[in-house]
């Protein structure tokens, strides 16, 4: 599942691209897609709730004295 931060960033980029193009049809499509992404992001919590990436978890566990061993 994509997080609110990701969706909001993508919507912002689409709006930026829409403003830079001289093609009115393309601009309208980009704005429409940005609105779709924004509507998906709005009901989500403000912070992404996904699990931490494995490399981040390893660093935190190593720092706390719990080394992770891989087989």
Q: Please, which pLDDT band fits residue 67 given cuts at 50, 70 and 90?
A: low
Specify the pLDDT at position 50: 57
Specify the pLDDT at position 42: 80
Between residues 39 and 60, the one the model is more confident about? 39
Asked if 68 and 58 count as a contact pair (C-beta separation under 8 A), the reply is yes
Which pLDDT tens digit goes with each residue over 2-51?
Answer: 788 888 999 999 999 999 999 999 999 999 999 999 998 887 766 655 56
Burial class (CB in 10 A: 0-12, 13-18, 19+), 58: middle
Specify the pLDDT at position 52: 62
Using H for helix, E for strand and C for coil, what is the string for the chain? CCCHHHHHHHHHHHHHHHHHCCCHHHHHHHHHHHHHHHHHHCCCCCCCCCCCCHHHHHHHHHHCCCCCCCC
């Amino acid at each position: 599942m994509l997080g609110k931060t990701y969706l909001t960033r993508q919507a912002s980029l689409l709006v930026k691209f829409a403003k830079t193009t001289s093609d009115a049809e393309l601009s309208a499509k980009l704005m429409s897609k940005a609105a779709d992404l924004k509507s998906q992001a709005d009901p989500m919590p403000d912070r992404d709730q996904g699990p931490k990436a494995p490399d981040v978890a390893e660093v935190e566990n190593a720092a706390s004295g719990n080394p992770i061993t891989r087989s």
